[in-house]
Amino acid sequence: MSTGMSIDIDRAQKLAQHLANATGAVLNPPATERPDGRVLLWTVGSVRRGCPMVGDLEFLAPCREYAMGPDPVAEWVAKHFEPVKVREKRVVEKLPRPERVLGVLKLGGREADWKLARLSVQIAGQPFQVEIHRFEPGDDGNRGWTELRATGCADFGKAMLTLLKRRKGIGESGKGSIDGYLVNKDGHRIPQATEQQVFEAVEWKPLAPTERDDKAARDVMYAANRYGAMR
């Protein structure tokens, strides 16, 4: 959910790179890259879809590598973003100029294994939202579904989930996703480490991020409703 301010995609990409440079994060490394204690961020959302105007910055980041070890992303957030209450107007400068990026943490809790961070950076005195979506890495992880859902558009992700439920025979009141993982009728997780696997699960041709617009969402939802009516 954006704050209402929009910037052009070129400025958004520069802001993403500045945010990474100023905080020591690695932006858009190869998908196979291992964190090894580093903070890895991949751009998703409107930037990945190539939208000319962007209402927020969204990133993908892996969850902690080791169950008992430190969480580099959580430590990164705690180091570079000052926690404040949502209703407060105060903003604390955390990042260097020239872009004058200011950070505010809005986590809604400091759980060790949080899945989504909502941050805010300030541009020319106006708040601009940053979201970090986290995924479980590995062949049994959920990067593909998390990446597809975070890339959007929102209606496309909802339509894909609806089509999955139809394909897997899950009723209207049933869940197609549990704890961030796509599941079958029996509640067992299905392969979803890559977006390709997600498209295969719903039996839909893979679409590039730039093709995942409102029309694509309507097409997928139409197929889901038609498939449901035929059963």
Of 133, 166, 151, the C-alpha closest to 206 is 151
Distance in angstroms (rounded) separating the CA atoms of residues 43 and 131: 10
The mean of the pLDDT values for the chain is 83
Per-residue pLDDT at 87: 37
Q: Residue 152 half-sphere exposure, CB side, CA atoms within 13 Å?
A: 21
Q: Which helix (H) or strand (E) holds 8?
A: strand 7-8
Distance in angstroms (rounded) separating the CA atoms of residues 153 and 228: 23
Highest mean pLDDT among 30-44, 63-77, 144-158: 144-158
Q: Is the pLDDT of residue 183 over 60?
A: yes
Q: How distant is the alpha carbon of residue 97 from its chain centre?
A: 27
Q: Is the pLDDT of residue 62 over 50?
A: yes
Cβ 56 vs Cβ 45: under 8 Å: yes
Per-residue pLDDT at 218: 97
Distance in angstroms (rounded) separating the CA atoms of residues 54 and 56: 6
Whether omega for the bond prior to residue 153 falls within 30 degrees of 0, making it cis, is: yes
The listed CATH number (3.40.50.300, 3.30.460.10, 1.20.1250.20, 3.30.70.141) that belongs to domain 7-135: 3.30.460.10
Q: Strands of 94-159 (E only): list them.
A: 103-106, 116-123, 126-135
pLDDT category, 93, cuts 50, 70, 90? Answer: very low
Q: Is the pLDDT of residue 110 over 50?
A: no
190: which DSSP letter? -
Q: Which helix (H) or strand (E) holds 194?
A: none
- Domain residue extents for the chain: 7-135, 152-230
Cβ 79 vs Cβ 182: under 8 Å: no
Distance in angstroms (rounded) separating the CA atoms of residues 69 and 173: 38
Residues in the chain: 231
